[in-house]
C-alpha cells in the first residue's frame, strides 16, 4: 500500500531561504556597531593614557588622610593570574581607588589612612598610594605633608 500524496514527507529543494530586506538591515547594523565598538576599544586606551599623562605632567605628589571604604585582599583571577589588593578611600567627598597598597593587613574599614595623591591640571585627583596612618615609609620626594 502506497502512502497518499498528503502523507508523503515534503522534500526541501533549497534549505537556504533568501534573506528578507529587514534581516539584511539588522545584520548590517550589527556588523557596523560591532566594528565601531572594536575600534573604540583599540584606540581609546592609548588616547586616555596620553590624556592622563599630560594631565599629571609636572604635578607634585601630596600627602593626605582619607577614610578606607573598601578592602579586598590579594588573590588570583579565574585564569590564575595574581591580583593585587584593592583599597577604595573616601577623600574630599569622593571615592578613589588606590594605585598601590602598603600594609594592607593594618588597614581597617571606616578608619583613616595616609594617602599619597596628585591633583591634575584639570583638578582630577589621582590616589597613588594608601598606607596605615603610622606608616611613614615610602614618602615620595617632593611630597607636601
- Residue segments in the chain with a per-residue pLDDT below the cut of 50: none
Burial letters for 104-136: b for 16+ Cβ neighbours within 10 Å, e otherwise?
A: beebeeeeebbbbbbbeeeeeebbbbbbbeebe
Let me know whether 47 and 101 are in one domain: no
Same domain, 53 and 105: no
Q: Which domain holds residue 100?
A: 62-132
31 and 83 together in one domain: no
Cα distances (Å, whole numbers) of residue 69 to 41, 92, 111, 115, 134 = 30, 13, 8, 13, 18
- Flag whether 11 is in a domain: no
Bridge partners for 40 per DSSP? none
For residue 78, the domain's CATH number is 2.40.50
Do 74 and 109 reside in the same domain of the chain? yes
* Residues 39 and 100 occupy one common structural domain: no
Contacts of 103 (CB under 8 A, 6+ apart): 131, 132, 135
Place of cell 596628585: 118
Q: What is the pLDDT of residue 126?
A: 94
Convert the pLDDT of each residue in 24-59 to its tens digit.
999 999 999 999 999 888 888 787 888 888 888 999
Same domain, 76 and 50: no
Q: Are residues 96 and 112 both part of a single domain? A: yes
* Grid-cell match 590579594, residue found: 74
pTM above 0.75? no
Residue 140 lies in a domain: no
Cα–Cα distance, 30 to 24 (Å, whole number): 10
Q: Show the cell assigned to 38.
A: 572594536
What domain count does the chain have? 2
Amino acid at each position: 500500500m502506497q502512502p497518499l500524496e498528503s502523507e508523503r514527507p515534503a522534500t526541501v529543494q533549497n534549505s537556504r531561504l533568501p534573506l528578507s530586506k529587514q534581516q539584511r538591515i539588522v545584520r548590517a547594523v550589527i556588523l557596523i556597531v560591532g566594528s565601531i565598538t572594536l575600534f573604540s576599544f583599540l584606540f581609546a586606551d592609548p588616547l586616555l593614557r596620553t590624556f592622563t599623562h599630560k594631565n599629571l605632567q609636572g604635578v607634585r605628589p601630596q600627602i593626605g588622610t582619607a577614610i578606607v571604604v573598601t578592602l579586598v585582599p590579594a588573590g588570583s583571577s579565574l585564569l590564575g593570574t595574581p591580583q593585587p589588593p584593592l583599597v577604595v578611600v573616601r577623600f574630599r567627598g569622593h571615592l578613589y581607588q588606590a594605585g598601590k597598597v602598603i600594609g594592607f593587613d593594618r588597614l581597617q574599614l571606616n578608619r583613616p589612612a595616609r594617602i599619597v595623591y596628585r591633583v591634575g591640571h584639570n583638578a582630577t585627583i589621582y590616589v597613588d598610594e594608601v598606607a596605615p596612618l603610622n606608616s611613614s615609609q615610602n614618602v615620595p620626594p617632593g611630597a607636601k605633608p
